[in-house]
Amino acid sequence: MVFVGGGFGSVARYLLSKWLNNVEAAIPYGTMLSNVLGSLLVGFILGYFAKSTNISEAQTLLLATGFCGGFTTFSTFAYENHVFLKNGDYISFFSYTLGSLILGFLAVFLGLYLAKLV
C-alpha cells in the first residue's frame, strides 16, 4: 500500500512542480504547494482515522504514509533553500522557509479540524 500510494504521490508532486515551479519565480511554488497540501491531507486523514473506524490501516498506509509521503518532499525543499543561500538570495530563503513551515503547520491543524467536522 505504501509503495502504490507513494508512486501516485510522487507523480502528482512531479506534475505539480512542472506546472508551478518557474525558474523566474522568487520561490518554487510547486514544491511549497505540494508540501502544504500534503500537510493538509495528512492532518485530515490521520484526524479522520483517529475518530472513525470507517478507514482501515491499509487505507491509512496507502493515503497518509504512501501518497502524502510521496507527494511531499523535504529533500527538494532543503535543496531549493541551499540554492537560495548559495546565490545569496536571503529574502527568498527566509520567505520560502518561514512560509513553508507556517503554512505546513497551519495546514495540518486545518486538516485535523476538518476531520472533526466530517
Query: How far is Cα 46 from Cα 63, in angstroms, rounded to an integer?
Result: 10
Half-sphere exposure for 76 (CA within 13 Å, toward CB): 20
Model pLDDT for residues 45-92, shown as the tens digit of each residue: 999 999 887 788 899 999 999 999 999 999 999 999 999 999 999 999
pLDDT tens per residue across span 92-110:
999 999 999 999 999 999 9
Q: What is the pTM of this model?
A: 0.91
Domain spans, the chain: 2-117
Closest among 16, 113, 27 to 70, alpha carbons compared? 16
Question: What letters, b where the CB count within 10 A reaches 16 and e where it falls short, cover 60-99?
Answer: bbbbbbbbbbbbbbeebbeebbeebeeeebeebbeebbee
